[in-house]
């Protein structure tokens, strides 16, 4: 974060500084508070000495209720749009940090993020898409970090709260900032662009995710295109060539456009070369690269290679960056649990990512390939049709056993059977408890178990159960 004192913060936000425990602001002419703000947090438990605690209004409680904890942990100030109804720490009112009162704490957080962004000369790379945002962001970060100091979004900080927090981590040392931009409704990405002012844009794929809030695939496409439209003419846009809905976004920008993917031309063209022991070898242009993960991550790697080349990195630097990448838990990481392999894809699931996962399983070496597919949520009125479409692809896959988990599991079994997949290789369970009971009966040495589903199903509980089962049996566990 660039230097900012408590008084500078108050002036920038046109706020009113209150003494700890006081309902009355300091009078005009009061001595300025020159203490430096070293970081900004919105969770009191993450406060360390020098932090600004932003007390946001939550669904059930207001963050100002946790001001006492923030003060005890060393906050230098508390930004809030509501003063506590009583002293949050009546025993130590003289020693507590000031409260900066503003009309809307979230707006204040965003304004502070814009201030920090305006101080930075870093090139900001915005990444959006229905699938693959986080993995693409991580791969690009690993690549660019080989050349210059870079920043990436912490976790998946990609909304109106998370993106400002990411921008507030920018400092003078950074030359690149690789940031995710998510959306739950039209206009979200354009708003985030006004905060981050990205120089480059990367669009992965457009897929039927969050249909309940968007209403149609076209609305999703137009929302993702908002990022492309916000890139200045001096910038660059990177588009997936394999999907016309994404490639066609080139018409929405005056910036330079580069393509990546299986159908791209030139240096952005990529293809699978081989897969062995959880690692993929791909060819982009005339160079080959290796990354941890399966075929479903190929386009993410292709985007990272194309961005790296645009940034002037050598093939050796790009290769070294991709070698450092490791998938997060829940996003394609391979776990070893005794004589089982566990492919952890539990963080999220959409129809497109589910089919990609199915196709990639054929390349894994295992005695049996077992797929656990949880419900895909937020698909609106199309949920049954989309679930059936995914289930019908099983017949052309290398999956030996398929277990559907959730409210729609029975209709998935019916659809898979109707497509020609053997019914004695299909199972339907309602939840994690039933799933674990079934797996305890089915699993054999040498099995690969791939678990994929929407976050609401919490299939990571079963991943953790599998790891415990292996450990209890004396097997080596490599998480």
Distance (Å, whole) CA 247 – CA 263 = 10
Distance of CA 462 to CAs 56, 295, 384, Å? 34, 24, 25
CATH number at 333-478: 3.90.190.20
Residue with tokens 């720490």: 89
- The yes-or-no verdict on residue 25 having pLDDT over 80 is no
Range 120-324: architecture per CATH: 3-Layer(aba) Sandwich (3.40)
The helix/strand/coil state of 63 is helix
Distance (Å, whole) CA 410 – CA 366 = 27
Say what the pTM is: 0.92
The structural domains of the chain, with segments of one domain joined by +, span: 6-105, 120-324, 333-478
* Per-residue pLDDT tens digits for 386-411: 999 999 999 999 999 999 999 999 99
Per-residue pLDDT band at 255 (split at 50, 70, 90): very high
Contacts of 60 (CB under 8 A, 6+ apart): none
Distance of CA 135 to CAs 140, 166, 308, Å? 9, 17, 15
* Per-residue pLDDT tens digits for 120-175: 999 999 999 999 999 999 999 999 999 989 999 998 899 999 999 999 999 999 99
Tell me the Ramachandran region of residue 315: left when phi exceeds 0, alpha when psi lies from -120 to 50, beta otherwise.
Answer: alpha
* Per-residue pLDDT tens digits for 309-325: 999 999 999 999 999 99
CATH number at 6-105: 3.40.1390.10
Distance (Å, whole) CA 153 – CA 177 = 8
Q: Are strands 340-345 and 333-337 parallel, antiparallel or unpaired?
A: antiparallel
Q: Please name which of 195, 11, 227 lies closest in space to residue 106, comparing C-alpha atoms.
A: 195
* Per-residue pLDDT tens digits for 342-355: 999 999 899 999 99
């Amino acid at each position: 974060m660039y230097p900012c004192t408590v008084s500078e913060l108050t002036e920038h936000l046109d706020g009113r500084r209150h003494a700890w425990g006081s309902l009355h602001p300091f009078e005009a002419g009061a001595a300025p508070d020159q203490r430096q703000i070293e970081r900004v947090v919105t969770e009191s438990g993450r406060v360390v000495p020098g932090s600004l605690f932003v007390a946001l209004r939550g669904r059930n409680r207001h963050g100002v209720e946790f001001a006492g904890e923030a003060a005890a942990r060393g906050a230098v100030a508390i930004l809030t749009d509501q003063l506590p109804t009583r002293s949050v720490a009546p025993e130590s009112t003289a020693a507590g940090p000031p409260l900066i009162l503003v009309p809307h704490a979230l707006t204040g957080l965003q304004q502070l993020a814009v201030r920090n962004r305006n101080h930075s000369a870093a090139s900001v790379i915005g990444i959006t898409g229905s699938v693959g945002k986080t993995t693409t962001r991580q791969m690009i970060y690993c690549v660019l970090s080989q050349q210059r100091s870079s920043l990436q979004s912490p976790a998946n900080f990609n909304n109106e709260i998370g993106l400002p927090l990411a921008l507030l981590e920018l400092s003078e040392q950074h030359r690149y900032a690789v940031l995710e931009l998510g959306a739950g409704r039209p206009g979200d990405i354009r708003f985030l662009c006004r905060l981050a002012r990205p120089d480059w844009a990367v669009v992965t794929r457009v897929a039927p995710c969050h249909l309940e809030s968007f209403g149609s695939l076209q609305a999703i496409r137009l929302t993702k295109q908002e990022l492309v439209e916000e890139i200045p003419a001096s910038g660059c846009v990177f588009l997936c060539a394999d999907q016309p809905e994404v490639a066609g976004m080139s018409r929405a920008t005056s910036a330079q456009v580069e393509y990546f993917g299986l159908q791209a031309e030139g240096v952005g063209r990529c293809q699978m070369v081989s897969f062995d022991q959880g690692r993929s070898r791909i060819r982009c242009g005339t160079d080959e690269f290796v990354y941890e993960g399966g075929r479903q991550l190929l386009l993410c790697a292709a985007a990272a290679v194309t961005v790296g080349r645009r940034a002037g990195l050598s093939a050796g630097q790009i290769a070294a960056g991709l070698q450092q990448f490791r998938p997060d838990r829940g996003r394609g990481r391979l776990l070893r649990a005794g004589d089982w392999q566990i492919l952890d894809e539990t963080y999220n699931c959409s129809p497109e990512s589910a089919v990609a996962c199915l196709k990639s399983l054929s390349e894994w070496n295992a005695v049996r390939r077992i797929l656990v597919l949880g419900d895909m949520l937020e698909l609106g009125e199309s949920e049954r049709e989309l679930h059936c479409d995914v289930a019908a692809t099983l017949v052309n896959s290398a999956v030996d056993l398929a277990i559907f988990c959730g409210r729609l599991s029975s209709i998935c079994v019916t659809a898979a059977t109707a497509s020609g997949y053997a019914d004695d290789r299909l199972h339907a369970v309602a939840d994690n408890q039933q799933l674990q009971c079934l797996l305890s009966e089915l699993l054999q040495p040498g099995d690969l178990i791939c678990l994929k589903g929407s976050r609401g199903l919490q299939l990571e509980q079963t991943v953790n159960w599998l790891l415990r089962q292996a450990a209890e049996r004396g097997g080596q566990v490599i998480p």
